[in-house]
């Protein structure tokens, strides 16, 4: 059985603490300082090595009494899907889900849409919790799990989930959402990565074979690059999502930032090589320093527009292209590998979480179980329509996969390719504390956009990670 696991994507640094007082500068971000003088690092150490879980929790108490939080009779649900201005399929799914719940429950759910860039790469969510106004329900990927778990704001959802439901989740899909065998987030999808390309441009340039190695990828990208078009697109914006898209290249050569004993291993040949690949793509001019639209996750804005000829993105782009560019002819191939490397992708995916400090945590947990974690037909159908209708994903529950298969969802050649060729090579998106994420992000950015030597970047990041691990006291790093 393939282990379908995941992430997708958010702010790489610790949260900005918007709580009143003057604005200060920290890590190239403007954040507000507490009136008592405690800075951002002191106020919101979500996952920071200097703070144990118990020490962090009190700083995030009373979330739910102001603009972001709900009340005993209303649950606020922050997300980056809906209700969106363009009323896209994913937005409609979210609106219908909330409406269906509200029609049959006294405690209502109120959606708050936050643009993808602000939610995924910005500090909107982090800042709300720091200010004591976090939402009752929110979306979270494994990449940011420890930030919120170590911060004491994630409610244990296990009591709301029946054993038959927990058993229905495919192997591995709950692992990065658990601590001490308790479930703190319920995943809704699995999203592996691959390379999409324009068939028209491949044909025009006489490219007969899809790149299978890193060298071939750069060579083909060079052939496809013009004054008005880049040959390849990797994510250039620093965020948890950028790290997510870079990890497979590190893994392909056997690299990792930490071993099973929590000992740092980032300063290694596989890590240096993966950093160099991304750096060379920009240095040689075949990849841009800026992506269009919402970033490298946005195939319509980048690949279909002609901004690039190849793009690393996920299975979700199948639905995006079908919705916005139905006539665009594209192909998909696995992430290329280094010499002697192993084909590897990463399995991402968002999950629903409940704010343990919200206005009505029990109702929030009940909603999540109703929406994604029930054996009722409605919950299974919601999973099917989300994964193979509103979006294109690989389901994380056996019952949902069965329902999708029954409707022929994976008869589509591209969906079948992801399910049978890409997903079996997948590894779960890891959950790292914010300071590790930041160290890795800095290394990627310094090599990719600043031209720093990959050896130096790996060494600097490794030193930062090693120092952090010496005092880390949060939940297990997976």
Residue whose token pair is 């390719």: 417
Same domain for 254 and 304, yes or no, is yes
What's the pLDDT at 69? 60
352 shares its domain with 337: no
Residue 121 pLDDT: 76
| Residue 6 maps to a domain | no
Q: Are residues 304 and 397 in the same domain?
A: no
Instruction: Find the largest Cα–Cα distance for the chain.
Output: 65
Do residue 285 and residue 299 come from a single domain?
A: yes
Q: How far apart are CA 82 and CA 86, in angstroms?
A: 9
| 60 and 96 co-located in one domain | yes
User: Residues of the chain with pLDDT > 90: what percent?
Assistant: 82
In a shared domain, residues 120 and 76: yes
Q: Tell whether 79 and 97 lie within a shared domain.
A: yes
Residue 174 lies in a domain: yes
Q: Which of 73, 12, 78, 111 minimizes the C-alpha distance to 435?
A: 12
pLDDT digits (tens, 9 = 90+) for 36-74: 332 322 222 333 333 333 333 332 333 333 345 667 899
pTM of the model: 0.86
Does residue 359 fall inside a structural domain?
yes
Q: What is the pLDDT of residues 116-170, one digit of tens each?
A: 888 887 889 999 999 989 999 999 999 999 999 999 999 999 999 999 999 999 9
Q: Does 14 reside within a domain?
A: no
| Same domain for 331 and 411 | no
| Closest by Cα among 294, 11, 244, 6 to 125 | 11
Residue appearing with tokens 């193979």: 388
Pick from 116, 134, 41, 39: which is nearest to 434 by CA?
Answer: 41
What's the start-to-end Cα distance of the chain, in Å? 20
Same domain, 297 and 169: no
Domain containing 44 equals 23-190+348-428
Whether 18 has a pLDDT exceeding 80, the answer reads no
Task: Return the CATH number at 343.
Answer: 3.40.190.10
Residue 17 in domain:
no
Backbone angles phi, psi at 326, to 5 degrees: -60, -20
The Cα–Cα gap between 68 and 84 comes to 18
Same domain, 445 and 412: no
Kindly state whether residues 339 and 259 are assigned to the same domain: yes
Per-residue pLDDT reduced to its tens digit, 395-410: 999 999 999 999 999 9
Dihedral over Cα of 471, 54, 369, 133: its sign? negative
Contact 16, 40 (CB under 8 A): yes
Answer yes or no: is pLDDT of 441 > 50. Answer: yes
Residue 362 in tokens:
């029990």
Look at the chain and report how many structural domains it folds into: 2
- Structural domain contains residue 3: no
Rounded CA separation 335/477 (Å): 26
The DSSP 8-state label assigned to residue 34 in this structure reads P
**Distance, CA of 223 to chain centre:** 31
Q: What are phi and psi of 89, to 5 degrees?
A: -55, -40
CA atoms 295, 11, 383, 106: torsion sign? negative
Encoding tokens for residue 311?
A: 């793009």
Q: Is residue 275 part of a domain?
A: yes
Domain check: are 167 and 224 in the same one? no
pLDDT at 5: 29
211 domain-assigned: yes
């Amino acid at each position: 059985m393939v282990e379908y696991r995941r992430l997708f994507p958010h702010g790489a640094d610790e949260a900005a603490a918007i709580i009143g007082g003057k604005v200060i500068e920290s890590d190239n971000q403007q954040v507000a300082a507490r009136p008592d003088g405690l800075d951002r690092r002191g106020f919101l150490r979500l996952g920071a090595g200097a703070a144990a879980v118990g020490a962090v929790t009190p700083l995030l108490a009373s979330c739910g009494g102001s603009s972001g939080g709900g009340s005993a009779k209303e649950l606020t649900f922050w997300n980056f899907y809906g209700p969106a201005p363009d009323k896209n399929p994913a937005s409609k799914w979210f609106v219908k889900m909330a409406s269906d719940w509200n029609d049959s429950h006294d405690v209502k759910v109120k959606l708050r849409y936050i643009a993808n860039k602000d939610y995924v790469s910005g500090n909107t969510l982090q800042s709300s919790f720091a200010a004591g106004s976090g939402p009752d329900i929110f979306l979270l990927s494994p990449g940011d799990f420890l930030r919120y778990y170590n911060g004491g704001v994630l409610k244990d959802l296990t009591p709301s989930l029946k054993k038959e439901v927990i058993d229905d989740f495919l192997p591995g899909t709950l692992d990065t959402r658990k601590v001490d065998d308790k479930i703190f987030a319920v995943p809704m999808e699995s999203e592996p990565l691959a390379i999409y390309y324009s068939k028209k441009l491949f044909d025009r340039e006489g490219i007969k074979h899809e790149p299978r190695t890193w060298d071939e990828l750069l060579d083909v990208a060079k052939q496809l690059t013009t004054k008005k078009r880049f040959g390849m697109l990797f994510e250039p914006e620093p965020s948890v999502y950028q790290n997510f898209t870079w990890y497979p290249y590190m893994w392909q050569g056997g690299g990792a930032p930490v071993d099973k004993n929590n000992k740092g291993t980032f300063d290694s040949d596989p890590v240096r090589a993966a950093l160099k690949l991304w750096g060379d793509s920009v240095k040689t001019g075949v990849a841009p320093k800026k992506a269009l639209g919402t970033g490298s996750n946005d195939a319509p804005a980048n690949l279909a527009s002609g901004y690039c000829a190849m793009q690393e993105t996920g299975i979700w782009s199948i639905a995006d292209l079908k919705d916005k560019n139905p006539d665009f002819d594209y192909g998909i191939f696995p992430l290329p590998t280094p010499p002697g490397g192993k084909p590897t992708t990463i399995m991402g995916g968002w999950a629903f979480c409940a704010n343990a400090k919200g206005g009505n945590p029990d109702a929030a947990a009940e909603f999540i179980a109703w929406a994604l974690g029930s054996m009722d037909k409605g919950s299974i159908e919601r999973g099917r329509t989300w994964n193979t209708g509103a979006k294109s994903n690989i389901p994380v529950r056996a019952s949902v996969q069965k329902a999708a298969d029954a409707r022929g969802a994976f008869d589509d050649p591209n969906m079948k390719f992801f399910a049978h060729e890409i997903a079996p090579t997948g590894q779960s998106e890891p959950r790292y504390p914010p300071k590790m994420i930041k160290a890795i992000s800095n290394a990627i950015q310094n090599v990719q956009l600043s031209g720093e030597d990959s050896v130096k970047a790996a060494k600097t990041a490794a030193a930062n990670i090693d120092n952090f691990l010496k005092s880390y006291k949060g939940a297990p790093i997976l």
